[in-house]
Structure formats: C-alpha cells, structure tokens
Amino acid sequence: MQSADTDQLANTKGQDECLATLLLVEEESSALDLLATALQGDGYRLLKASGGEAALALMERESVDLVITGARVPDMDRVELLSAIQQKWPDCIRVMLTDQADPNAMVHAINKGRVHSVITQPWNDEELHLMLRQALAHQHAEREQKRLEAATQQQNRTLAELNSTLEQRVEARTQELKQLSDMLDAAYVELERSHVTATRALASLLNLRLSSPLQTNAQVDALVRTFAEIHDLDETLRRDLLMAAALYNMGRLIWSDRLLNTPEQKLFAQDQVAYQRYPVTGEKLLTSLEHLQGTARIIRHHRERWNGTGFPDQLEGNAIPYGARLLGLAVDFTELQRGMILPRKVPRQQVLSLLRKFSGRIYDPDLCNAFVKMCLEQAPDLGVVGQSVESLVSSKLKPGMILAQDLYSESGILLLHEGKELTRGLIEKLIHFEEVEDIRYSLLIRKPESQRSGPGSESHRLENKTLPPQ
C-alpha cells in the first residue's frame, strides 16, 4: 500500500472491471493496511486518505461509492466528515469503524452523519464482506430506480409533446394526402380529356376524306352526348360512346369515292359486302389502343339488329352491347336525313316515324322509345343540355371563357374542343382565321355561375333551342 493521501491502493483487477470504488479514511496506515488486505480480493477499487480534508478533496476528483472512516481522523471530527459527505454526495454509502462500543456515540453518528453501518474493531471479515455487498447492492438498486424514473419522466415528457402536436401533425398529413389526391384526380381528368381531344382531332381528319354531307360525326356525337346526360349513363360507357361517335366511320376510309357517295340501299354484290365490313375494319384499326377497347367493341356491333339480321355477327336482342344499340340509333337518325341509307334525304319527322316503325325489329324497343322521346323533347343536335350557354361571335370573346361545344371549320376540321379555356392568343388566331377564310363563326360559351338565370331568361331559351350542328 502507498503512503500518499490520494494514492490508489493496489487492486488485483483492472479499474474498468471493479465492482465499486471504496475510500478508506484513517490516520494510521496500519489500520488501512489491514482493511485493504481484508477487501483486496473482492474486486473493489480502493482509495485512501489520511485525513478529512484530504478525503473531501479526493472525492471532488473521484467518483466514490462507499466511504469507511477509521477510528482516528486527525484534522476533522469523523462524524462531521461523514455529515459533510452526506450533504454533498447523499448517495455515497457511509460506514464507520470504531474501537469502542459506546451506544451514545453510535446514535450520534447515525443521526448526524446518516451512517449506514458501524463496525466495531476488531471486525469479522465475513460479516464485513456481507455488509459491504448488501450496502452496495442496495445502492445499485436505488440508482437503477432513479435512472428508470428519470427515463420514464423523459418518456412522459416526450409523449406529452407528441400528444400536444399529434392533432396538428395528423391534420397536416391529411392535407398533404388531400393535395396529392387532388393532383392525381386532376392528372386523371387531364389524361381522359387528352384521349377525347385526340380522338376528336382524328375524327376531324376523317372528315377531310368525306364530303360535307357525309360528315356526320358532330351530329352523332351531339345525339349520344345528350342521351347520356339525360339518362345519366355510367361514366365509362359515356366515354366509350363519345369516342365511338367520333370514330364509328373509320372503316369507310378505305372505300372508293363512288362507294362513299352511294346510299346503302343502292349497293349490290361486292359493294354490299364491302359496306358490311366497315364496322369490323373500324374495330381493327383501334385494337392496338388499350384505352379504346370498349369503343372498338361498340363500333364493331353498331350495325347489328334487334332481331338478329344485322352484321357483322348477327347478334340478337340484349346480346348486342348497349352502347352499340344506342350508337346505331344515332347513326341511322343522322344518315337517313343525309341521304346515306335511302336514295333520298328523309325529313326529320319521317325519320322518327321510321325508327318507331322498326322498333322491335331493327332497334331495341325500350331504347328506341327513349331515343325518339329525347329527339322530340330535347335539343339533341346542340349537345349542351343542362348547361347555361350563350352564343358569341369572335369579336365578343374574352380570355377565360370556356367553350361549350366543339368548333369545326367549314371543311370539318376540329378547331377548338369542348371545355377549352380561351386565351387572348387563341382569340386572335380565330379572328385572323376568319379574315383569311372570309367566314364568321358563332361559338357556344358556358356562362359563369353568377350569370346563370332561371326559366324565361334568354340563356334558358337558348338551352332549349335546337341549333344546326357546327
């Protein structure tokens, strides 16, 4: 053992492996030597001090778990030393050695110094070891309890903070998800619109191949669109129908000019066979476009008949797709008036009579009745049922206005599609186009919500007025 007050006593184990750090305070080194020898094999880290001031100074620098004071502390009353240690390091265990069994002195030490144990010299090594192990185990348990309590308090504070901000964070996340949902919805709507716009643009190119009387797509579209709005058809069916109305005559593009301009009832032999192949040809032209599969099916079957005598597959009754039955009615209603089926143009009222006459043979009777009723009561050629619109010449147009109906040129080219928001640049281009072509267009414009009025107003009369197709 070393003689300096702050020397560390020899230990058989390394400092990192020690069970606890013990400080031995005693004036006589021989007493410390005996105590150190008794404790040396227990794995403790042993420190010594020969006086009270030295002991306090040492504890300022070292972490001490347990202090044992001998019978003699020269510069300080040992009870005062233990009291000072208790005040500054309350969790440090305090043990006092005494060579006298004075009950009053023991009580005084316990009360003032808060002594954990008093050991009478000479001590019993076994009892000394047991007492130290129990004292240090109790100390470890108290420290662990304090650590757990501190950790629990920290967790409680963290949970309280989380709870206080949970509602705000949930609301913020909900808003983020809503914004993402709105963005996806907008992207989907724009994608759907781009499909429809591309289809109508393609239909306008078809019109370049057809003479003006044969350009039926706009009127067929208006009829189908109006029926779909009145009867609130499924959105997917509505989309497929509108695209079919724009593209149903694609299969006629391979016809000769003579065949194109010959009414159906005047076709014979090979011409009749070619005529009956056009729905299949139109379907084949669309088979590579995934989003137009429903449209292709409608086009293939729109010339089938309710009694099974149609083409190309002789489907009968409800086996004919609903969309194909409706498109067939709209096509016949339009092409009969254009002179494309019979050798003469049939007036509108006579066409409606023919539809009723062949109901149950060529046409689905229930669907035919609903279609004729629509043609009699609504504005099927307008295609803007349920909207408040106004007709404006190009000079009255303003940026921000929304087009309520497709605008076609005299040659059948799609100039502007329904739903298009007009810009100053578009308006200027339209006016310039009118000047070059020496023509004037009237555009159907959606009225803002604030300008819509009830029955009896000019806009209400316009909604119910039948206008010729653009």
Residue 4: what pLDDT?
Answer: 39
Residue 382 CB-density burial (10 A; 0-12 exposed, 13-18 middle, 19+ buried): buried
Stated pTM of the model: 0.48
Residue 385: what pLDDT?
Answer: 42
* Residue-range definition of the domain harbouring residue 453: 384-470
Between CA 401 and CA 445 the distance in angstroms is 7
Domain boundary among 381, 406, 429: 381
Query: Are both 80 and 102 inside the same structural domain?
Result: yes
- Encoded tokens for 314: 């002789």
Residue 455: what pLDDT?
Answer: 37
Domain boundary among 363, 381, 399: 381
Query: Are both 363 and 282 inside the same structural domain?
Result: yes
Between CA 298 and CA 326 the distance in angstroms is 9
CATH number for the domain harbouring residue 85: 3.40.50.2300
Domain boundary among 123, 157, 179: 123
CATH number for the domain harbouring residue 312: 1.10.3210.10
C-alpha of 205 from chain center: 39
- Which residues is 22 bridged to in the sheet? 46, 66
**Listed residue (402, 405, 395) closest to 440, CA to CA:** 395
Residue 283: what pLDDT?
Answer: 93
Residue 21: what pLDDT?
Answer: 92
Residue 183: what pLDDT?
Answer: 74
CA geometry: angle at 249 spanning 244 and 254, to 5°? Answer: 140
Query: Are both 23 and 56 inside the same structural domain?
Result: yes
Q: Prior bond to 469 cis, omega within 30?
A: no
Query: Are both 342 and 409 inside the same structural domain?
Result: no
User: Which one-letter amino acid corresponds to residue 197?
Assistant: T
Between CA 235 and CA 294 the distance in angstroms is 12
How would you write 185-216 as a 3-class SS string? HHHHHHHHHHHHHHHHHHHHHHHHHCCHHHCC
Residue 198: what pLDDT?
Answer: 65
Using DSSP, state whether 100 is helix, strand or coil. coil
Residue 179 inside a domain? The answer is no
Strands of 99-237, DSSP E = 117-120
Residue 220: what pLDDT?
Answer: 92
Q: What is the mean pLDDT of each run of 10 residues along the chain (470 residues)?
A: 40 52 84 80 87 92 90 80 90 82 62 73 82 89 90 87 78 80 68 64 69 84 91 92 91 87 91 94 86 92 97 97 97 93 87 93 96 75 54 88 80 80 93 87 75 40 33
Query: Are both 308 and 408 inside the same structural domain?
Result: no
Query: Helix count (H) and strand count (E) of the chain?
Result: 15, 9
Residue 80: what pLDDT?
Answer: 86
Scored b (16 or more CB within 10 A) or e, 248-287 reads: bbbbbeebeeeeeebbeeeeeeebeebbeebbbbbbebbe
